[in-house]
């Protein structure tokens, strides 16, 4: 069983953990093979104290991961900057949650993401006809910009050239500063902002929000720990996909943006004569599969894909002209698309830009697009992390119709990389 040790001071001073405690604990626990100490900070609702116990979304994921791996680990709470320094100097084995950064990459190795933050600019509410309503702060424009001291957002602002940032100790105090009008713009995670706003009993109409970007958050493991246990990170990443269960719902404006910008491009591609010719060529050569044969292919495919390998069926499909054409389409669109694949009316993959996690799509939600009643529709899923592409995706599926017969030939699924596709500049 996974052993969990919470190294913390009293609840009132949990963010000021005395470093000798953590360092002494680390020295003793190093004797246990594989036991590791992870540093973190309080960041509701991802990491929060409840009755003196550290809990939250990221903690529950790590509990799941290390329980599956049967590895003991301890958690120590300290300010973020102190946490990073302990990882850098080898006094801790890892730190979470952190954005991927060049500075951390110098002395630590990132896991696959545990969460996806949605960063927003929060400012005091103004009237909808105010000319400032769509304005965003820019470096050097004399706006009062705020962020949490030592936070991912504060680091990013500095990298972007925001030199005069007001740094406050907590999300609650930052939200309070915005509500009081002392901070014009605060860059925060939307989920954390909503949590703090409700805790402060402030109504949403006191603020306005403007989306800035999506930011994946990871666990950073020290290079010292990775060198000592070279297979550990790979094992963790494999297990991680089974412990992430909460998708991020698309907001109405995000769904509308996808429908207006990306969906027309995908529909046009699905109707292109060049694509239809290649699909028909594959279908003409295909055999009508038995359910048992399809199941066996799917089992082998999925098992090998989890190991980063390709089955014979997968290799054959990746080498056909349809898959090559999908790769050309993906390259044309650029970083906004992480994958594209086509499955037939039996649910079998017949073309893909890259290896998918499984062969049979008949048990997936997108298979409903094969039904003729959905020929004018599109299925757009919520956001979730896809381990095979290492990106947060919203999958868009449209039917592929034979223009002559009106029959549904197959369906096209495109994995939209939301971090790239839904940036304001996109």
Provide the pLDDT for residue 15.
Answer: 34
Q: What is the pLDDT of residues 186-217, one digit of tens each?
A: 999 999 999 999 999 999 999 999 989 888 89
pLDDT over 90 at 278, yes or no:
yes
Q: What is the pLDDT of residues 95-137, one digit of tens each?
A: 998 998 888 899 999 998 888 899 999 999 988 777 777 788 8
Provide the pLDDT for residue 18.
Answer: 36
Check if 4-111+218-243 and 117-215 are the same fold.
Answer: yes
* Euclidean distance between CA atoms 111 and 205, whole angstroms: 38
Provide the pLDDT for residue 245.
Answer: 56
- Residue 42 sits at φ, ψ, to 5 deg, of -75, 125
| Torsion over CA: 132, 138, 143, 144 (sign) | positive
Q: What is the pLDDT of residues 35-88, one digit of tens each?
A: 889 999 988 888 988 888 898 889 999 999 999 998 898 999 998 889 999 999
Provide the pLDDT for residue 33.
Answer: 59
pLDDT over 90 at 307, yes or no:
no
| Site of tokens 């009008």 | 181
Domain 252-421, CATH: 3.30.450.20
* Euclidean distance between CA atoms 148 and 167, whole angstroms: 5
pLDDT over 80 at 423, yes or no:
no
Provide the pLDDT for residue 400.
Answer: 95
Q: What is the pLDDT of residues 154-182, one digit of tens each?
A: 999 999 999 889 999 999 999 999 999 99
pLDDT level of residue 218 (50, 70, 90 thresholds): very high
* Euclidean distance between CA atoms 92 and 225, whole angstroms: 9
CA 348 vs. chain centroid, Å, equals 27
Token pair listed for 143: 């706006």
* Cβ partners under 8 Å of residue 246, min gap 6: 57
- pTM for this structure? 0.74
| Site of tokens 């037939």 | 344
Provide the pLDDT for residue 11.
Answer: 30
Sorted by where each begins, the domain ranges of the chain are: 4-111+218-243, 117-215, 252-421
Token pair listed for 332: 């044309």
pLDDT level of residue 424 (50, 70, 90 thresholds): low
Give 343's strand partners.
Answer: 349, 411
Arithmetic mean of pLDDT, 134-150: 87
Q: Which CATH number fits domain 117-215: 3.40.190.10, 3.40.50.620, 3.40.50.300, 1.10.3720.10?
A: 3.40.190.10
Question: Which of 324-338, 359-373, 384-398, 410-424 ranks highest by mean pLDDT?
Answer: 324-338
* Euclidean distance between CA atoms 379 and 300, whole angstroms: 28
pLDDT over 60 at 247, yes or no:
yes
Fold held by 4-111+218-243? D-Maltodextrin-Binding Protein; domain 2 (3.40.190)
pLDDT level of residue 242 (50, 70, 90 thresholds): confident
Nearest C-alpha neighbor of 272 from the set 326, 336, 317, 320: 326
pLDDT level of residue 426 (50, 70, 90 thresholds): low
Question: Higher confidence at residue 362 or residue 141?
Answer: 362
Give the Cα-Cα-Cα angle 417, 58, 337 (nearest 5 degrees).
5
* Cβ partners under 8 Å of residue 371, min gap 6: 408
């Amino acid at each position: 069983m996974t052993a969990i040790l919470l190294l913390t001071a009293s609840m009132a001073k949990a963010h000021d953990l005395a470093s000798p405690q953590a360092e002494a604990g680390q020295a003793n626990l190093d004797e246990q093979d594989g036991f590791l100490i992870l540093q973190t900070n309080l960041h509701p609702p991802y990491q929060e104290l409840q009755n003196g116990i550290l809990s939250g979304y990221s903690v529950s994921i790590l509990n799941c991961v290390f329980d599956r791996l049967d590895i003991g680990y301890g958690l120590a709470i300290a300010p973020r900057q102190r946490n990073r320094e302990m990882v850098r100097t080898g006094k801790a084995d890892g730190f979470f949650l952190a954005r991927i950064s060049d500075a951390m990459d110098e002395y630590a190795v990132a896991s696959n993401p545990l969460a996806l933050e949605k960063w927003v600019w929060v400012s005091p509410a103004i009237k909808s006809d105010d000319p400032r309503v769509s304005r965003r702060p820019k470096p050097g424009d004399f706006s009062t910009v705020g962020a949490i001291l030592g936070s991912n957002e504060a680091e990013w602002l500095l990298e972007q050239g925001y030199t005069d940032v007001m740094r406050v100790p907590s999300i609650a105090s930052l939200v309070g500063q915005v509500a009081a009008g002392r901070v014009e713009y605060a860059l925060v995670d939307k989920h954390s902002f909503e949590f703090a706003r409700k805790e402060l009993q402030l109504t949403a109409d006191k603020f306005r929000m403007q989306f800035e970007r999506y930011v994946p958050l990871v666990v950073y493991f020290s290079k010292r720990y990775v060198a000592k246990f070279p297979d550990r990170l790979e094992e963790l990443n494999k297990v991680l996909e089974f412990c992430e269960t909460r998708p991020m719902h698309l907001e109405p404006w995000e769904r509308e943006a996808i429908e207006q910008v990306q969906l027309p491009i995908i529909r046009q591609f699905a109707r292109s004569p060049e694509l239809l010719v290649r699909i028909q060529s594959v279908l003409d050569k295909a055999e009508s599969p038995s359910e048992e044969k399809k199941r066996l292919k799917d089992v082998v495919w999925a098992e090998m894909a989890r190991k980063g390998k390709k089955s014979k069926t997968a290799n054959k499909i990746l080498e056909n002209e349809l898959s090559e054409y999908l790769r050309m389409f993906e390259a044309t669109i650029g970083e906004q698309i992480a994958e594209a694949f086509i499955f037939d009316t039996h649910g079998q993959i017949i073309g893909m830009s890259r290896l998918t996690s499984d062969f049979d799509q008949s048990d997936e939600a997108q298979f409903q697009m094969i039904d003729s009643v959905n020929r004018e529709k599109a299925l757009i899923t919520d956001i979730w992390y896809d381990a095979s592409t290492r990106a947060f995706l919203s999958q868009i599926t449209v039917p592929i119709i034979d223009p002559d017969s009106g029959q549904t030939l197959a369906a096209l699924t495109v994995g939209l990389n939301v971090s790239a596709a839904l940036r304001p500049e996109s």
